[in-house]
Amino acid sequence: MDVHPPLAKLLLTLAGWLAGFDGNFDFKDIGKDYLEPKVPYVAMRMLPATCGILLAPVMFLTLKALGCRTMTATLGTSLIIFGKYTPLPTLLGNSLL
């Protein structure tokens, strides 16, 4: 059973395609060398990193567009920034869970 969201997989596939990934690397074994088969892993990681960076400002602007006061939007955004699940544990490899 695949538990990953299909849109996320499609977006990562798009990022890999745009970076020139040919699909010959299977990512099944941890610790395999990415440099020899020329896997553009840095470019493929840029999409999730960019989404993580944009999460807080988008949250703030969404709350402001919904009519929340600035203090409420700041509180909601700080819950995203300092929350247990996003984005800090993701950046640290889920070591805080």
Flag the least confident range among 61-65, 74-78, 89-93: 89-93
Q: Which residue range(s) make up the domain with 59?
A: 6-23+33-91
The answer to whether position 97 is within a domain reads no
Residue 1 counted as domain residue: no
Contacts of 91 (CB under 8 A, 6+ apart): 52
pLDDT digits (tens, 9 = 90+) for 25-75: 776 777 776 666 677 877 878 888 888 889 899 999 999 999 999 999 999
Is 96 inside any structural domain? no
Contact (CB, 8 A) for 15 and 44: yes
Structural domain includes residue 28: no
| Domain-embedded: residue 86 | yes
User: Mutual orientation of helices 41-65 and 6-19 as an angle, nearest 10°?
Assistant: 130
Asked whether residue 52 is domain-assigned, the answer is yes
Residue 1 has pLDDT above 80, yes or no: no
**Do the Cβ atoms of 27 and 62 come closer than 8 Å?**
no
Tens digits of per-residue pLDDT, 62-74? 999 999 999 999 9
pLDDT of residue 37: 67
Number of folded domains in the chain?
1
* Spatial contact of 25 and 37, defined as CB atoms under 8 Å apart: yes
pLDDT value of position 94: 45
**How far apart are alpha carbons 31 and 19 in whole angstroms?**
21
Q: Is residue 54 part of a domain?
A: yes
CB 22 within 8 A of CB 35: no
| 81 within a domain of the structure (yes/no) | yes
d(CA 97, CA 93): 9
